[in-house]
Amino acid sequence: DTGVSQDPRHKITKRGQNVTFRCDPISEHNRLYWYRQTLGQGPEFLTYFQNEAQLEKSRLLSDRFSAERPKGSFSTLEIQRTEQGDSAMYLCASSLAWGTGNYNEQFFGPGTRLTVL
Amino acid sequence: AQTVTQSQPEMSVQEAETVTLSCTYDTSESDYYLFWYKQPPSRQMILVIRQEAYKQQNATENRFSVNFQKAAKSFSLKISDSQLGDAAMYFCASQTQGGSEKLVFGKGTKLTVNP
């Protein structure tokens, strides 16, 4: 396993278009996270899945955003009717769920850089 | 709610010298972790070092060490014998156990290493 992968690495789109990003986590990881990183800022949490269940969504995730993780494997993040403010790096991370007394590192993918014109 | 503050947008260091990056945090939780992540240009985020809040001993990983001051809610990173490959954005982050266990990041410090 080569780690977390994301596709595409770069996406340029026009305002109003829909875009979809894909994340493939490390195969045995049951948790998958999406973060957004804008220029000059640290990553901000958007949502996470444990297996196929989406358990938490940030208030940053407007109703134009939807994420899925069918079968608990890869995940997709879709943005509908993109706006210029959506321009950012979208990062995916995966981990095992913590057990009592155990720590499990979140491993990050390379990100998808979205530019909305 | 957790917050993480990095007050140094940019730092520079000469190769082979030592540099310290600062971070303060705030949390109401008693069980939490603190991290420093490195994000090289156009490359993915990697974990540099981790500190469990319940541990009094400061974490070290080779040339990287932290100064964890729990009462002051301060968590600084010291890089010794800086190398050109250390040049990157460094993010301080916190995480509480239970629930989503999401990471909360600071804004980052851009470290430049001068030859």
Gap from A2 CA to chain B (nearest CA, Å):
13
> Which of B84, B92, B94 is CA-nearest to residue B14?
B84
Average pLDDT score over residue span B85-101 = 91
Residue with tokens 């195969």: A27
Two tokens, residue A36: 């957004």
Which parts of chain A have pLDDT scores under 50? none
Per residue in B14-33, pLDDT (tens digit) is 999 999 999 999 998 888 99
* % of chain B residues with pLDDT over 70: 100
Reference A51, options A95, A14, A16; nearest CA is A95
| Mean of pLDDT over chain B | 94
| Candidates B43, B103, B104; nearest CB to A106 | B103
Ranges A10-14, A83-87, B81-85, B94-98: which has the least confidence: B94-98
Estimate to the nearest angstrom the gap between the alpha carbon of A66 and the chain centroid. 10
Q: What is the mean pLDDT of residues B84-101?
A: 92
Give residue A94's pLDDT: 95
**Which residues numbered 35-74 in A keep a CB inside 8 Å of some CB on B?**
35, 40-45, 48, 55-56
- Chain A / chain B CB contacts < 8 angstroms: 56
* pLDDT for A99: 67
State the pLDDT at residue A100: 53
Q: Could you give the C-alpha distances from B6 to A60, A86, B78, B100, B113, in angstroms and in order? A: 22, 24, 14, 23, 19
Cα–Cα distance measured from residue A101 to residue B51, given in angstroms and rounded to the nearest whole number: 14
3-state SS, residue A70: helix
